[in-house]
Amino acid sequence: MFEDITAAVRGVLQRECGVDDADVKWERPAQQDHGDRCTAVALRIAKTLGRKPQDIAEIIAQELRTQPTIVERVEVAGAGYVNVWFTPQELLRSLAASRQACVPAVRRTEPPVIVEYSQPNIAKPLAIHHVIGTVLGQSVSNLYEHAGYNVIRWNYLGDWGTQFGKLAVAHRRWGTEKPVRDCSLDELLALYVRFHKEVDEHPELEDEGREAFRDLERGDPALRAFWADVVAVTKASLASLYERLHVSFDLDLGESFYEDKMQPVIDAGLAKGVFHEGDGGALIAEFSEESALPPFMIRKSDGGTLYSTRDLAQMRYRIDAYHPQAILIFTDIAQKLHFQQLVATCEQLGWELTTFENVLFGRMRFVDKAMSTRKGTVMKLEHVVDEAVARAQAIIDERGDTIQTDDPAALAEMMGTGALVYGILSQNRKMDIVFDWDKMLSFEGNSAPYVQYTHARARSVLRKAGSDAALPKVTDVLEPDERRLLLHLQDFPSVLDEARAEHLPHKLAQYLYELCQRFNAFYNVLPILQAGEAARKLRLGLTALTADVLRCGAELLTLRVPDRM
């Protein structure tokens, strides 16, 4: 549809105005009585041509009126906008793309897109703020995979570094006789916290922790066994939480994987003169004054490696092993400088970088001040998920028979985890993320329960109809609410592309919310099952496609939607 009318507009602008390959963009008017779509191309080219935009717009309108199978009506409005209404048949035909967009594309054979997210630290539970990067990365990788990209989901574990030396010291001094592999993550965290409390009175513990990590790097057998047990305990704890959030990874190679890959990078940097000694004997990379970047520490003065050392080794490994077409790393805004320095260092080393983006997101803020963490405590993500499910269960209990389900506990899990995830993903990642229980669990407004309830409502209609509800190919007229719903369904493929390309899942969430609004308006105004044969078939078709789009879009955002609710 858009290809045909765009070609027609470009053709007439070339013939009548001498404009080659005009940039014709179609937008949704703010008001429905201004058309199904509009274009401002006449306004954009009028000044260059020295002509009135209304005159150019009228040339375009006259050309579009010669397309009666596609265009029902055209008008020139305002300063030179061209408003277009499509024929019902063309609108119905266009929905084939929306139905196809619900089906995952075949995975292409091509260099992969590496998406790194979550990045937990070993021996520590995931805190509430970890949910942002975790679900953002999962949803964006879902969008890429759905579009047919070869995706590698990568969880880069913080499983190396001085913190392991500190934990080893804490376990040696204050741990029980229980084997590390039998400890809980909370017990390991308690040891780590105690170490830092004891440092206040015994600062020499810091040196002891650093020395223990150096021994670990040198291959001390006992410390290696201790480290392996700590990693295993943490991974087991993380796995159950990731499963609840519908988060998964293809690889979980952490910092330790690059233990034998760092020295070649250091040697290359020294040979090329990119790395040199800084104050105190540390190894650094420096940048031009124009970059305004501070020096990047590559190795500590005591010879110990750093996060930066491992990140350089990781970048080199990913380039050599996977030749990716893109690398996306999701982190909060605090990591921006680190990745600017990392990329600048890679460029100085002469590495041919693939498309790389540090996909940044804001910090988390709480509407309820009582939820703010106190100094020295961690608001665990697992506890927040449990709280979300408990609150969802309370809502189910309160609503009683108005909630239809054979398994209230499963529905509460679906609603609670969905509310938490959708509450994050429905917000623009470039801003601070606001945590608000009331909004997240509301059955009205932009929330997971609203999307889930609307999907269940559509499925209920289809069950009562007892048919697959295929859309008809021809209809003579569309009611206003049918047209509004149909036009919104038409946008689904482009919204998926936009949310993926810009790494902004909130655009898909906003689309689903507006789809729910349009469907519920359609449902409340127009009879479906009691309509005449032609109208019934059309409305059931729109209902079925709405349900499919809601399910597809929700699952891309890691939500699950019930068939009954």
Using an 8 Å Cβ cutoff, are 485 and 543 in contact? no
Q: With helix as H, strand as E and coil as C, how does 151-175 read?
A: EEEECCCECCCHHHHHHHHHHHHHC
Position 376 scores a pLDDT of 45
Plot region of 50 (φ>0 → left; ψ -120 to 50 → alpha; else → beta): left
Strands 113-116 and 151-154: parallel
- What integer pLDDT is reported at residue 85 of this predicted model? 95
> Are 423 and 132 contacting, i.e. CB atoms less than 8 angstroms apart?
no
CA 137 to chain centre: 5
d(CA 347, CA 156): 22
The Cα–Cα gap between 419 and 438 comes to: 10
**Six-digit token pair at 61?**
């309108």
In our burial notation (b when 16+ CB lie closer than 10 A, e otherwise), range 534-565 reads ebbbbbbbbbbbbbbbbbbbbbbbbbbbbeeb
Confidence (pLDDT) at 369:
55
Looking at residue 96, what is its pLDDT?
Answer: 94
pLDDT of residue 377: 58
Give the up-direction half-sphere exposure of residue 105: CA atoms within 13 A in the CB hemisphere: 19
**Helix, coil or strand: residue 290:** helix
What's the rounded Cα separation, in Å, for the pair 182 and 478? 66
Q: How far apart are CA 435 and CA 422, in angstroms?
A: 11
| 325 alpha carbon, distance to own chain's centre | 19
Task: In whole angstroms, give the CA distance from residue 42 to residue 521.
Answer: 35
Q: Which helix (H) or strand (E) holds 404?
A: none
- CA 192 centroid distance within chain: 32
**What are the start-end ranges of the H helices in 39-161?**
41-49, 53-64, 88-101, 130-146
- Reference 328, options 140, 558, 556; nearest CA is 140
Q: Which residues contact 390 (CB under 8 A, 6 or more apart)?
A: 412, 416
* Cα 247 to Cα 64: distance, rounded to the nearest angstrom: 48
**H/E element holding 324?**
none
Ranges in the chain, pLDDT < 70: 368-378, 468
User: Which 3 state secondary structure label does DSSP give 38?
Assistant: strand
Q: Which residue has the tokens 């970048």?
A: 315
Q: How far apart are CA 108 and CA 97, in angstroms?
A: 19
pLDDT, residue 373, reads 40
Of 4, 193, 199, nearest in space to 94 by CA: 4
* CA angle, 153 then 440 then 151, to 5°: 10
* Cα-Cα end-to-end distance for the chain: 37
Residues in Cβ contact with 132 at an 8 Å cutoff, skipping those fewer than 6 apart: 332, 361, 362, 364, 424, 429, 433
Domains of the chain, with CATH numbers? 2-86 (3.30.1360.70), 113-259+303-364 (3.40.50.620), 381-556 (1.10.730.10)
Q: 149 to each of 101, 324, 360, 500, how far by Cα in Å? A: 14, 11, 22, 11
Type of residue found at 534 = A
Tokens 């929330």 belong to which residue?
A: 447
Cβ atoms of residues 299 and 282 within 8 Å: yes
